[in-house]
Chain A
């Protein structure tokens, strides 16, 4: 069987989880309150764990071992969406990104519990509890801050307007989209985007936030084919700094 479509799907999912997991871990020790610092750090750790599970599936399909894949590739070999690599900025942006991304991530894994590729369906079933927490956390904060004070609402709205074109880039289609759908590996990016939009709208409707006008938004794409912003390479250099000192070290 031609594994390329499957591998492409696994790479983009794993890279999303690793890069956003790393970005979110940058908040460790700097979070807005102790309890939130712990929660956000735990979820970042979960994401890196998900990337490990997916890189392990890739390894079983003949790719290099997870550490090599995670720490030795350059930016143009990564398939993550550009949304995940953007610098953290203020917490309002990190929270909005967490909400937009994790809503999509949870729906994607939920859909993948039905995947014809059984090892992937198993991973999707296994992480459902973690994703339930991630989306509960995101939704609860958006509910609170999206209807709390003038400042919290305007800051979240500004971040939402900024993040939305990048968030639409999550659903950049694969060159193998048709094969992925036809083989029952995954229902596809379009189906995911439709479900995501419904869910995002449903949550925002309970707040004072509103979605920007989709007619005038252009999705920021390219991440899935290795065309990234200037922010990814510095992230990779920082993330792999210790690994590169001694790639053969046993931890």
Chain B
């Protein structure tokens, strides 16, 4: 391959002249959900997913995929299959009204509860409840945080399945505020072009 990018020119040849091969089957990793805390005291918010072979690598890859710009003080990841999702409502319908009450007072498992408060926005952390099952957790969430505003969708994640940021790992984002060069808007190309055009028209 002949390209202006020398790395492209160095790529290995694909296929063989005169031969046709079937496309190789895809070998895909599973997905993990990524939650980010942008500032101290602010709630965690769902940012997206990463592909990874395991939870720890999901954490490693999520860090650069979702927090290489802007601000971050902490993040966590969980296997997509460990996120329990309610139905989705719209209009003025509170999703909690669609959920059956489950009474499992004896439970000891912690669950993180996430709310979708506006369609098209991200799920935000609403609080943590203790229950024996996901159903019980959602019932407790309804009692504790489900009355004030309309919630369109709710997630429950068992806390023990989450890979959190350890306290000493918070230094991972120590130099992030200085990395403005990663934001395209920080490069004032327009001003440079204007100066260049002005100086060339004078000479």
Contact = CB atoms under 8 A, between A and B. Distances in A.
Contacts of A43: 64
B198 to A, nearest CB: 14
Nearest to B52: A35
Interface string B28-66: 010000000000000000000011111011001111110
Given A128-B171, A132-B172, A42 B64 contact: yes
A127 B173 CA distance: 10
Given A129-B172, A129-B175, A38 B65 contact: yes
Dominant SS at the B interface? helix
B175 A141 contact: no
Contacts of A64: none
Given A129-B172, A132-B171, A148 B60 contact: no
B53 A148 contact: yes
A137 interface: yes
Contacts, number: 65
Interface in A1-52: 26, 29-30, 33-36, 38-39, 42-43, 45
Given A140-B57, A144-B53, A129 B65 contact: no
Interface residues of A, number: 28
Contacts of A30: 7, 11
A42 B171 CA distance: 16
Given A38-B65, A39-B65, A136 B171 contact: no
A126 interface: yes
Interface string B52-96: 111011001111110010000000000000000000000000000
B201 to A, nearest CB: 18
A39 B62 CA distance: 9
Interface residues of B, number: 26
Contact of A38 (B11, B57, B64): B64
B174 A33 contact: no
Leading 4 A-B pairs by shortest Cβ distance: A129-B174, A129-B171, A35-B61, A39-B64
Given A35-B62, A42-B68, A141-B57, 20 more contacts: A33-B29, A35-B51, A38-B61, A39-B61, A39-B64, A39-B65, A42-B64, A45-B182, A129-B172, A129-B173, A129-B174, A133-B60, A133-B63, A133-B64, A136-B60, A136-B172, A137-B60, A140-B60, A143-B56, A238-B6
B97 interface: no
A173 interface: no
Nearest to A28: B7
A130 interface: yes
B192 interface: yes
Nearest to B62: A35
Contacts of B57: 140-141, 144
B169 interface: yes
Contacts of A129: 171-175
Contacts of A150: none
Nearest to B174: A129
